[in-house]
Amino acid sequence: MINYFIVPGLGNSGEGHWQSYFKQSAPNFKRIEQEEWDTPKCEDWVKNISEAISGFEPETVVLIGHSLGCVAIANWAKAYKMKIKGALLVAPSDVEAPKYTFDTVGFKQMPVERIDFKTILVASSNDEWMSMERAKFFAESWGSQLINIGEAGHINATSGFGEWKEGLAILKEFE
């Protein structure tokens, strides 16, 4: 059985967000909680990913990130070099963009090292937090399969992504 670990972004994900629906969809979906959602420290988020998946066989672990959670996953992969089953990276935030002015510690640079497990990067052509050009660059750098779902904003509840059955269908690629 696959163990899915949800890694929300800045501010966490509310009840109407697709990540909350994913968590409710089956008992093998777990949300990785962070101590600080609004002023995160990269080192803490990375450590929490590692602690959450410890005790699980790496080949059964799939991480599911959104926004800053994707950047945390890429940083975790760089730091721990653990080969897991895979990661779904949905609408990563480009922390190097001039518009990204949130109060974060250690999230100032985007990791560009190749990720040593299967990754799928889902991007939107009109995401305010990462251009499609940058999404293509990071997908290539990380070795990710890129799925462009068109004009979908930041692929969150605000842009109409609540239940998001298509996202659950993408997860089947890790089975």
In this predicted structure, what is the pLDDT of residue 147? 98
Radius of gyration of the chain (CA): 14
Q: What is the rounded CA–CA span in Å between residue 13 and residue 33?
A: 11
CATH of the domain at 113: 3.40.50.1820
Overall number of domains in the chain: 1
What is the maximum span of the chain, computed from C-alpha positions, in angstroms? 41
Pairing of strands 145-148, 118-123: parallel
pLDDT tens figures, 108-162: 999 999 999 999 999 999 999 999 999 999 999 999 999 999 999 999 999 999 9
At residue 24's C-alpha, the angle toward residues 19 and 25, to 5°, is: 95
pTM of the model: 0.97
Print the domain residue range for 59.
3-174
Q: What is the rounded CA–CA span in Å between residue 141 and residue 112?
A: 5
